Amino acid sequence: MTVHYHAVVWIDHREARVFHFNSTDFEKLVVHPAHPTKHIHHKANCIGSGHAAADHEYLQAVVESFADAGAVLITGPANAKTELIKHIHQHAPDRMKAIAGVETVDHPSDGSLVAHARKYFMAADRMQPQKV
């Protein structure tokens, strides 16, 4: 695998798609939880929220999949992206410096997700201090 500085993660509770990329190419990794959760609805008169607890093994595998990236954009349609950020804060706080942003993104194709991330980092990189 070629080492790329930028990465984008799209995550939900069923899978995480991780793309390491530069301006011309990208590499894709897919991470699946060991025990995928089924969609759970809250039922009236039941104790509990009806939500499954965070799968820390899955979240750790996702963190490890972008461990060598210098800047990471985390995306996804629901709360899995915020669970990932909480996991990073608690279990890998040194990786927080690489998180460039968190955005809600529905279910894009691989190509459109990478294109969105390239555009995001093109603007974000211009905002960073320039090295002399």
Domain contains 78: yes
Domain contains 48: no
pLDDT tens for each residue of 70-124: 999 999 998 999 999 999 999 999 999 999 999 999 999 999 999 999 999 998 7
Q: Evaluate if residue 132 carries a pLDDT over 90.
A: no
Residues paired with 59 in a beta bridge: none
pLDDT of amino acid 48: 54
Within 10 Å of residue 42's Cβ, how many Cβ atoms? 9
Q: Which of 48-52, 55-59, 68-72, 126-130 has the lowest mean pLDDT?
A: 48-52
DSSP state of 55: -
Domain contains 60: yes
Domain contains 107: yes
Domain interval for residue 78: 6-32+54-127
User: What is the average pLDDT score of the chain?
Assistant: 87
In angstroms, rounded to a whole number, what is the distance separating the alpha carbons of residues 101 and 121? 10
Q: Evaluate if residue 126 carries a pLDDT over 80.
A: no
**pLDDT top residue among 118 and 50:** 118
- Rg from Cα positions in the chain: 16
Domain contains 11: yes
Domain count, the chain: 1
Residue 103, Cβ density class (10 Å: 0-12 exposed, 13-18 middle, ≥19 buried):
middle
Give the CATH number, domain containing residue 67: 3.30.420.60
In angstroms, rounded to a whole number, what is the distance separating the alpha carbons of residues 129 and 132? 9
Domain contains 132: no
Structural contact between residues 102 and 32, judged by C-beta atoms closer than 8 angstroms = no
Domain contains 115: yes
